Amino acid sequence: MSRGMQCLTSALIFIATVHLRCVNADAGRENTQIFIDGFAPKEIRYPSSALKFYENVTATPAVPDMAARRGLTKCASSPALPSGLVLDNSTCAISGTPTAIQAPAAYTITGSNDFGTATTEISIEIRSPAPSNLVYAGSPYAFVKTATVTRVTPTFSGTITSCTANPALPGLTLSNTTCEITGAPTTSQLQTTHTITASNAEGSTSTTIDLTIFRVLFIANGPAGSGMANSGVADNYCNGDGNKPAGTGNYKAMIAGWGTRRACSSSNCATSGAAENLDWALAPNTQYRRNDLSTIIMTTNSAGIFVFGTLAATIVATPLPGGSPISLWTGLTTGWTTHSSSGTCGGNWSTPSGTGVYGLINRSNNTLLHYSTATPCSSSSGLLACAQQ
């Protein structure tokens, strides 16, 4: 560089401004002076001073604005960030996957370089995320009316503070913290789809289950046809029989007579449907199963009777052991109307010299109701079909 020439140069680099200055020679010497003016980090500003993250969910990084990040070489937090969160040394960005829920807590974030420091105060809260992945692996379910169900436990992610069903589960309870199903059904229902919704303050998730509440139909040892002075006597045979499943409540005998118990007053209840029922044993629109609680026998129609040709199974497992009684007192015609007095032991199941209508327990056609009227009412071999109430 020639004597007497003055040079002024400036250069901006990442962490400092460099000024190069050339001056005239003085007393035969040339002097060069370099000045470096560094700058400390500016104010650190996060998108929010109150940051929220979710337990076991990878966080969307909280990154300070560009002005705050320029020139940083180190970032620190006091106290240390919650477990699972990390602080980037060059940007002060907060990221990671927090591992535990915590209430809002204060943190001092300090960014620094060789020329100074900047700090900011923030709060960090770790919340439980909205529940997700609610699954009932056993659906569809079938429970017997009145009996306590085996606990049904779903799987899910997150924390649940409320659990609801739409439509409501019939007599069953949903846990508000696990969505477990417990209790004993109070009414029967054909297969119904229920929407189960689990929620907390952050949101909700839903799934569906299919649920059938069925009733039991089994065969009990009955008395002689003339030994049933009223329907209550017949019902007592049902409720005292050893074939009755435990925990299933009361039963009625599927038998007509006395002028007090009737299925239909017109053939197959064609005139008025279920309005023709009188203290009848079967419920409308209900699935019935054997006393093994798994084998479906049939589903009644809206009149509280079943249509022959639609039975899925006989009332009892067949073939029956040799010598087993198969005659079933019914007092019914094949159209579900009450037989005359000649088929109901004098009309009230109390005349030993009369005859009674019986069906066959190993049949799934209309001979289940009416096979013969020739059975003497003094016979003690009659059985009863017992329907859960």
The bridge status of strand 162-166 relative to strand 172-174 is unpaired
Q: Which amino acid is at 83?
A: S
Task: Please choose, from the candidates 347, 341, 211, 329, the residue with its C-alpha nearest in 3D space to the C-alpha of residue 281.
Answer: 329
Q: Which amino acid is at 103?
A: A
DSSP-derived letter for residue 234 is: H
Note if the bond before 154 is cis, omega within 30 degrees.
no
Question: Is residue 227 helix, strand or coil?
Answer: helix
Triad 19, 23, 24: Cα angle to 5°: 170
Contact (CB, 8 A) for 251 and 237: no
HSE value, Cβ hemisphere, 13 Å, CA-based, for 313: 18
pLDDT tens for the 389 residues of the chain, in order: 444 444 444 444 344 444 444 444 454 455 544 444 457 787 889 999 999 999 999 999 999 986 656 678 899 999 999 999 999 998 999 999 999 999 999 999 999 998 889 999 999 999 999 999 999 999 999 999 999 999 999 999 989 999 999 999 999 999 999 999 999 999 999 999 999 999 999 999 999 999 999 999 999 999 998 999 999 999 999 999 999 999 999 999 999 999 999 999 999 999 999 999 999 999 999 999 999 999 999 999 999 999 988 899 999 998 887 678 899 999 999 999 999 998 999 999 999 989 999 999 999 999 999 998 878 998 877 899 999 99
> What is the pTM for the complete model shown?
0.79
Domains of the chain: 7-38 (no CATH), 50-127 (2.60.40.10), 132-213 (2.60.40.10), 222-388 (3.10.100)
Residues in the chain: 389
